[in-house]
Amino acid sequence: MVVKIYRSARSLTKKVFETKKRGKTIGLVPTMGFLHEGHMSLIRRARKDTDCVIVSIFVNPAQFGPKEDFKKYPRDFKMDFSLCEKENADIVFAPKAEEIYPENYVTYVNVEKITDTLCGASRPGHFRGVATVVAKLFNITMPDIAYFGQKDAQQAIVIKRMAEDLNMSVRIKVMPIVREKDGLAMSSRNVYLNLKERMQAQSISKSLKLAKELFDSGERNSGKIINKMKKVIDKQSEAKIDYMKIVDTKNLKDIQKISGKTLIAAAIWVGKTRLIDNIILN
Ligand code: AMP
């Protein structure tokens, strides 16, 4: 099947209208490219569920802070395109930044409260950028279903909240985290890691695995679990904890004693690379 590339929002929206008129459903997979198995799992699911699969590839400047890695974020459009071909996507939407944020652009979507914690606390303005670009992608592609990864747990919660709060008629599907053999969650940023850092990067998933084991053996005290998790990271010479938190999956508020559905989320720096990971306890 031929995958069509769109660079223009207007022409993509026109195509979407035509597709919907023929009674076809639209699945959207928003990405920043440099695709890996994590992204592929979303595309595959979209392919199963919907008639027309749109993969957006856009490194969104609005979600990077001034000192963050926007410039050096890995990009490889050729590879991304061939992976989209392999997974039988219908459309790749790869706009230039000026297409999404033209001159005089001033409108942003701000999801409050749940963006003040976790990654939102470490990366001010990040979720404003994410919510804005995703809202724009929803308007451009009018998807029946949009696919996100559990890897970015807070992002998925923020997008669900936004869609509900703003009465957007899109279903949000959140897919499980795809991991490397040693447990490291797949991420486009993993290419930043040198050999030593790559070894030490395992510690974030190891700490979460330990948390799950503690929980399964009856531990319910968040403080105790976090302390033990922190020790796993602290043993690594190149790793530094950004945050480690046990929170309610709805409001992302800290939980002292685990009872209902709970998110354990962590972010660490390994050298100059920031990694995130999480698990859900039921
Ligand atoms: P990104 O290109 O990093 O913005 O990610 C695009 C989408 O892929 C987001 O919804 C991510 O949560 C999802 N994603 C990234 N890495 C993984 C992974 N290892 N497993 C599952 N989904 C992922």
What span, in angstroms and rounded, lies between the C-alpha atoms of 12 and 141?
Answer: 7
129 pLDDT more than 90: yes
**Integer CA distances (angstroms), 268 to 49, 65, 82, in order:** 35, 17, 32
pLDDT confidence of residue 282: 87
List, by residue range, all CATH 3.30.1300.10 domains of the chain: 188-281
Largest CA distance in the chain: 58
Contacts of 16 (CB under 8 A, 6+ apart): 26, 52, 54, 140, 141, 142
Q: Is 29 helix (H, G, I), strand (E, B) or coil?
A: strand
Question: H/E element holding 245?
Answer: strand 239-248
Q: Are 261 and 157 in contact (CB under 8 A)?
A: no
pLDDT confidence of residue 166: 98
Q: What are phi and psi of 227, to 5 degrees?
A: -55, -45
Segment 243-254, tens digit of pLDDT = 999 999 999 999
Confidence of residue 1 (pLDDT cuts 50, 70, 90): confident
Pocket test for ligand 1, best of 32, 93, 152 (most atoms within 8 A of CB): 152
**Integer CA distances (angstroms), 109 to 34, 135, 233, in order:** 26, 8, 35
The separation between the first and the last C-alpha atoms of the chain, rounded to the nearest angstrom, is: 41
260 pLDDT more than 90: no
Segment 77-101, tens digit of pLDDT = 999 999 999 999 999 999 999 999 9
The verdict on the CB of residue 192 being under 6 Å from ligand 1 is no
Is it true that domain 188-281 has CATH number 3.30.1300.10? yes
Q: Are 248 and 255 in contact (CB under 8 A)?
A: yes
- Ligand 1 centre and the CA of 39: distance in Å? 5
63 pLDDT more than 80: yes
Global pTM? 0.98
The verdict on the CB of residue 114 being under 6 Å from ligand 1 is no
Beta strands 273-281; 262-270: pairing state: antiparallel
Catalytic site residue from 27, 34, 39, 63: 39
The DSSP 8-state label assigned to residue 191 in this structure reads: G
The DSSP 8-state label assigned to residue 152 in this structure reads: G
The verdict on the CB of residue 31 being under 6 Å from ligand 1 is yes
Pocket test for ligand 1, best of 151, 172, 184 (most atoms within 8 A of CB): 151
What span, in angstroms and rounded, lies between the C-alpha atoms of 148 and 144?
Answer: 14
Q: Which of 123, 264, 114, 280 is nearest to 204 (CA)?
A: 264
Q: Does 39 qualify as catalytic in the annotation?
A: yes
The verdict on the CB of residue 62 being under 6 Å from ligand 1 is no
Segment 198-229, tens digit of pLDDT = 999 999 999 999 999 999 999 999 999 999 99
Q: pLDDT exceeding 70 applies to what percent of the chain?
A: 100
**What is the DSSP annotation of 61-94?**
GGGS-TTSSTTTS---HHHHHHHHHHTT-SEEE-
The DSSP 8-state label assigned to residue 252 in this structure reads: -
Burial of 270 (0-12, 13-18, 19+ CB in 10 A): buried
- The strand pairing partners of 27, in sequence order, are 53, 145
List, by residue range, all CATH 3.40.50.620 domains of the chain: 4-175
State the architecture of 4-175 in CATH terms: 3-Layer(aba) Sandwich (3.40)
State both tokens at 202: 């395992």
What span, in angstroms and rounded, lies between the C-alpha atoms of 50 and 28?
Answer: 9
The verdict on the CB of residue 188 being under 6 Å from ligand 1 is yes
Pocket test for ligand 1, best of 28, 42, 58, 273 (most atoms within 8 A of CB): 42
